[in-house]
A and B are shown apart, each in its own frame.
Chain A
Amino acid sequence: MPARVGVVTFPGSLDDVDALRGVRLAGGDAVSLWHGDPDLHGVDAVVLPGGFSYGDHLRCGAIARFSPVMDSIIEFARGGGPVLGICNGFQVLCESHLLPGALLRNGQRRFTCHEQRLRVESVKTAWTSAYDEGEEITVVLKNGEGRFYADERTLDALEGEGRVVVRYLDANPNGSLRDIAGIANEAGNVVGMMPHPEHAIEALTGPGTDGLRVFAGLVAGPAVASTAV
């Protein structure tokens, strides 16, 4: 049976359709989850998609964190369930304290959207197991508040524990500390990344298909991935 992967729609979510397509193209069973419904409908993994949940009011991700579905997701994540936050989803995971650090306004103070090269630094997470360590991939980066920030101790810990999952190559696009584009929690089941793998899943519409394996790795073996960590 294909893995069931849920994609949450908050009011203001935008890339939910893209994430659902990513799951489908990777062979998974894509399930829409609604922010107001705490029931996760038995999914094997959850994606928090990009967008502007609740209009970024107060602070990116700050309100989404308190939606009914997030209580269930936090519990799911603490139990080892694979959770991926992309862009705004990453911001929600930070606000939920499932991941450390914060995403600040881009250094150049402008929204930027472009093809972005990344290096996959860790393949020991539920979402990056289908890549080779050190592999260089190209996906899409688009955000106005994507500058990863954490204190030095946290940054050292992330580096030391191999929890930097993806790193920006070429010019740092937003001023993220240590070129960090994505990180994982200690167990490796929760991953947040600013770049958008779901926009690089078809050669026709994206800069290639490098992003598809984020979903493929999960679909191929969520159980394996979550027990391996």
Chain B
Amino acid sequence: MTNGAEATQPYAELGLKDDEYSRIIEILGRRPSDEELAMYSIMWSEHCSYKSSKVHLRRFAGSQESPRILAGIGENAGVIDVGGGTAVTFKVESHNHPSFVEPYQGAATGVGGIVRDILAMGARPVAVMDSLRFGDADAPDTKRLVDGVVAGVGGYGNCLGLPNIGGEITFDPTYSGNPLVNALCLGVLPVERLHLSAAKGIGNIAVLIGAKTGRDGIGGVSVLASATFEEGSSAKRPAVQVGDPFTEKVLIECCLELFDSGLVVGIQDLGGAGLTCALSETAAKAGLGMEARLDAVPLREPSMTATEVLASESQERMLAIVEPARVEEVLAVCGKWGAIATPIAEVTGTGRLVITWHGDVVVDVPPASLADDGPVYERPMRRPADLDALHADDPARLLRPKNGGDLRATVLQLAASANLSSRQWVTDQYDRYVRGNTVLSAPEDAGVLRLSDDGPAGVALALDGNGRFARLDPYLGAQLALAEACRNVAAVGAVPIAATDCLNFGSPEDPEVMWQFAEAVRGLADGAVTMSTPVIGGNVSFYNQTGDRPINPTPVVGILGFIDDVERRTPLAFSGDGDAVILLGTTRDELGGSEWAWVAHRHLGGQPPTLDLSAERALCETLVEASSSGLVRAAHDLSDGGLGQALVESCLRGGVGVTVSVGDDAFVALCSESASRAVVATADVDGVLALAARRGVPAAVIGRVGGAALVVEGSFSIPLDELREAWEGTLPRLFG
């Protein structure tokens, strides 16, 4: 082994701390080889080892007690049984730093990576979603990022034939210099086809399938994802992977045929950390050893070193564990699809991961020391020093609209704002129809997908986050994101059943960030129990900051819902002339962190809306029951922008107006962002009111659908054409 006994090893440059390096020497009983050092630096990076977050993430274990959960945290993605022999798997993951360095490829490979996670569970990927956050919409660099990221999400997902069924796109100066690109993928599988990644069975062969290995993405997880951005980030461009969706599409179909033919024992995707991660994790999970011939790996560039081959994050690769007698059949299936397939390793009983390179042993380590026994930190935490001042800066001091004319202008201003205006400019770049099972997609509250042609069952998905609320109170902010996603899923008529999260935070080495993180995880874990939505997978993204300025803490939550009959899904559009509009839930004077405070005053302060999760749960149950008993024609959750914005969207989507009466304080009624609220439109007022009363949900008839304007009695009227112009014009004007 080449470990030059005298020279100092470059562990610090690879991101390892002094004590981490000492531990490696302790584990091996010698200095590591160059290859081993590279592997430890990758596997012990923040991105792979979760070393700062692990102690906190254990809180999610409390929500995992359900016989429906077939796989939870720790697998490539969580899997949940939805009945009828069908299981669903979903997960959201970040690709923030690569997307800032190279927006198109960063976003594209973000989609590619999460799709392979889903594939690795034995599932057919069937839909994607994305949650995107950028700096101010009119800031100089935003257009470059939006153009590239949206084209990248679309370019990759569209070429894979995966419908994009929703998500969010938000602008806030906190993300300038550090955009957030979180991609979610949903997969469906027969329960018995669930694949786990353990490399079981001594003598079994590991077959590398897919793209050749190149120099792209080397150090991606340790360089890009595990450190703070400084100036000169263009020098990091080679660390961004380059995606080829065609190769991935072929890889998907190839792997699905392998699963269907029962040809693989286990499978693992190659994502961040490439072969290093795939070899060590599969061996560690089985508690066995592995002997790999690294020189067998097909290379794009023959001059690559062993370390580079181990560290490469070349996309579109999977590692399948195969019984020796089935290897020929596996190679034949791969040949049919034109996917390169190469046996590169054998499962052994030695308990060691041994890697050879042209006959020399370059790595000989216990695999669990890489995959499981990485450092675990209890980082210091401190409540942010500015939090009290932030809370004291209450929005009550802000100037509010004084009369109907002012309020009219405010509603229009909000509808045209970067965060609330129509997302169509973005979503029209995504294919939402392919595969023919998309029942609802953006701008509906949740995407709804039919599970198969053979039955009416389906799933709903929503993805939500609010960095401003989380900045004001990370515990509550995380719960508000969870609550909103549940509400969105319930609004279309589906029962929320599971959660996935993408936790986007600043540097864990900053005690104030670490406190935000711990609070958010605690909030999410507590909330998941009350809402009966176990967190079955997700991802942590640290170091989202520019210099020493972290982003607003941004936990993004994806909620999966189940709907037994997709025909009864509830759209958000008003459609029935004369339908009564009923407001469910309680409206309070809650404007801290609201869109109004931001749009009208660029203000962020005070407290976020209060949240009573049992009230949220009762609202969700009411919405689901209203749908299943056919009581409502439309339903729309109230969140960003409040009731006013919800009415704007339901009117414009349906092409019909509404007249409402909202009481004395029309401003609070229309702009408050109190949680646990929704509007429904119904022809059966008594039925809805009785249902709400049974569930203890406050309900009030506030108006009727009809006409061609949004009318707030005693205050103002806005013709739909004027509303539409305001709502639809903004993103095309900024980015078109």
Contact = CB atoms under 8 A, between A and B. Distances in A.
Contact of A11 (B338, B433, B453): B338
B450 A55 contact: no
B469 to A, nearest CB: 32
A111 B155 contact: yes
Nearest to A16: B161
B250 interface: yes
Contact of A51 (B161, B338, B438, B453): B161
A159 interface: no
B428 A198 contact: no
Contact of B450 (A12, A56, A205, A206): A205
B246 A55 contact: yes
Interface string A138-169: 00101010000000000000000000000000
Nearest to B247: A55
B266 interface: no
A9 to B, nearest CB: 9
Contacts of A51: 161
B238 to A, nearest CB: 23
B249 A113 contact: no
A202 B161 CA distance: 19
Given A21-B436, A202-B436, A11 B431 contact: no
Contacts of A11: 246, 249-250, 253, 337-338
Contacts of A204: 439, 450, 566-567
B673 interface: no
B397 interface: no
A18 interface: yes
Contacts of B567: 204
B672 interface: no
Interface in A187-216: 196, 198-199, 201-202, 204-206
A17 interface: yes
A142 to B, nearest CB: 5
B608 interface: no
B396 interface: no
A205 B246 contact: no
Contacts of B437: 205
Nearest to A204: B439
Contacts of A113: 158, 428-433
A114 B430 CA distance: 9
A195 to B, nearest CB: 11
Interface string B143-186: 00000000100110011110000000000000000000000000
Given A111-B429, A113-B431, A54 B246 contact: yes
A36 B337 CA distance: 10
B435 to A, nearest CB: 6
A179 interface: no
A142 B161 CA distance: 12
Nearest to B338: A11
A206 B434 CA distance: 10
Nearest to B429: A111
Contacts of B161: 14-15, 51
Contacts of A14: 159-161, 249, 434
A14 B437 CA distance: 13
Given A11-B337, A14-B161, A205 B436 contact: yes
Contacts of B566: 204
Contacts of A140: 433
Interface string A27-56: 000000000100000000000000110111
A112 interface: yes
A101 to B, nearest CB: 24
Nearest to B438: A205
B512 interface: no
A198 B473 CA distance: 48
A12 B453 contact: no
Q: Which of B247, B430, B432, B566 has the most CB of A within 10 A?
A: B432
A198 B159 CA distance: 17
B444 interface: no
Contact of A142 (B246, B250, B433, B438): B433
A57 interface: yes
Interface string B547-576: 000000000000000000011000000000
Contacts of A21: 436, 453
Contacts of B35: none
Interface string B449-463: 010010000000000
B122 interface: no
Contacts of B430: 113
Contact of B429 (A18, A110, A201): A110
Interface in A98-125: 110-114
A110 B436 contact: no
B373 to A, nearest CB: 41
B436 A18 contact: yes
B244 A55 contact: yes
A10 to B, nearest CB: 10
A53 B402 CA distance: 60
B245 interface: yes
A57 B246 contact: yes
Interface string B197-239: 0000000000000000000000000000000000000000000
Contacts of B246: 11-12, 52, 54-57
A114 B428 contact: yes
B428 A112 contact: yes
A144 B439 CA distance: 24
Contacts of B439: 204-205
Contact of A18 (B247, B338, B432, B435): B435
Nearest to B453: A21
A113 B151 CA distance: 13
A44 B450 CA distance: 31
Q: Give the one of B159, B249, B429, B436 with max A CB within 10 A.
A: B436
B186 to A, nearest CB: 16
B155 A199 contact: no
Contacts of A112: 428-429
A201 B437 CA distance: 11
Contact of B433 (A54, A55, A111, A196): A196
A55 B159 contact: yes
A115 to B, nearest CB: 10
B434 A18 contact: yes
Contacts of A12: 159, 246, 249-250
Contacts of B160: 14
B450 A142 contact: no
A11 B244 CA distance: 13
B624 to A, nearest CB: 19
Contacts of B249: 11-12, 14, 52, 55
A114 B442 CA distance: 12
Most chain-A Cβ atoms within 10 A of its Cβ — which of B160, B244, B428? B428
Interface in B57-76: none
Contact of A198 (B338, B429, B436): B436
Nearest to A36: B336
A112 B337 CA distance: 29
B428 to A, nearest CB: 5
A52 B433 contact: no
User: 4 tightest A-B contacts by CB?
Assistant: A55-B246, A14-B161, A199-B433, A18-B436
Interface of B: 151, 154-155, 158-161, 244-247, 249-250, 253, 336-338, 428-439, 450, 453, 566-567
27 contacts: A11-B246, A11-B250, A11-B338, A12-B159, A12-B246, A14-B159, A14-B249, A17-B435, A18-B433, A21-B453, A36-B336, A52-B246, A52-B249, A56-B246, A110-B151, A112-B429, A113-B429, A113-B432, A196-B433, A199-B433, A199-B436, A202-B436, A204-B450, A205-B436, A205-B437, A205-B439, A206-B436
Given A55-B245, A111-B158, A113-B433, 4 more contacts: A14-B159, A17-B436, A55-B247, A140-B433
